[in-house]
Amino acid sequence: MREPIKPNVAEQAAIAFETAARERDPLLHIVCGLRAIAEAALVGTLAFSPVFELRRLEAAIVSASDGTMGAARYVPAHAVALGFTAALCIIDDSVRRPEFRAPAELAAARIDHVLLLADELDAQFRRQCIERGGDLLRRHVTIQRAMAADVASLTRQ
C-alpha cells in the first residue's frame, strides 16, 4: 500500500501569504498561512520542506506584513509584528540541525504567539463579516425578544 502524498506545507503557507500581499482584505489568507506554519512546527513537517520553499515562505511573510498591519484594525501593531517575527523564527529554526535549534520552551512560545495572532486576526475577520452582513443574528434576536414582549403584554391584559 502506498503512503499518501503529504502536501508541502511551506508551499501552501507561501501561497497564502503571497495571496494576502495582493489582496485588499488579506486577513483570512494570513490566518491560513499562520496556522499552517504552527501546525507544521508542532508536527515537525516544516523541517522536511525544501529550503527554497522555506525561503519563499519567509519572503512572502515579509511582503504581506505591511498589508496585514494596515488591515489589522483591532490587533495592536506590536502583536502583529511579534506574531510575524515568531513565524519567521520558526521557519529559520526548521533549517537548523536539531542540536542548534531553539530550546523547547522558546519553540513553544513562538508557536503560541503565531497561533494567538492567527486567532486574533480570525476574530477580526469574523467581526468584519458580521458587520458587512448587518449583524443578522443580533437583529433576529432583537426582533424575537420584541415579539415575545408583545405577546407577554397581550396575555397580561
pLDDT at residue 34, rounded to an integer: 97
- Dig out the grid coordinates for 86 from the structure: 515568531
pLDDT at residue number 4: 45
Q: What is the pLDDT of residues 34-83, one digit of tens each?
A: 999 999 999 888 888 888 999 999 999 999 998 888 888 889 999 999 99
**pLDDT at position 135 over 80:** no
Name the amino acid, one letter, at 59.
A
Contact partners, residue 111, CB within 8 Å, separation at least 6: 38, 41, 42, 86, 90
Q: Give the mean pLDDT of 111-126.
A: 95
Dihedral class, residue 101 (left if φ above 0, else alpha if ψ from -120 to 50, else beta): beta
> pLDDT band for position 154 (50/70/90)?
low
pLDDT (0 to 100) of residue 5: 45
Whole-angstrom CA distances from 44 to 10, 37, 95 are 12, 10, 11
CA distances, 20 to each of 23, 39, 79, 154 (Å): 5, 19, 18, 54
- How far, in Å, CA of 117 to CA of 81, rounded? 9
| 42 contacts: CB under 8 Å, gap ≥ 6 | 111
Question: Is the whole model's pTM more than 0.95, yes or no?
Answer: no
Structure confidence by residue, pLDDT tens digits, 15-30: 999 999 998 888 999 9
Higher-confidence residue: 133 or 90? Answer: 90
Query: Mean per-residue pLDDT for 135-155?
Result: 72
With bands split at pLDDT 50, 70 and 90, how would you rate the model's confidence at 2?
very low
So what's the pLDDT on residue 151?
67
User: How far apart (Å, rounded) are the C-alpha atoms in residues 72 and 125?
Assistant: 9
Joined together, the cell numbers standing for residue 132 give 458587512
- Interacting residues of 138 by C-beta distance below 8 A, sequence separation 6+: none
Whole-number Å distance between alpha carbons of 42 and 38: 6
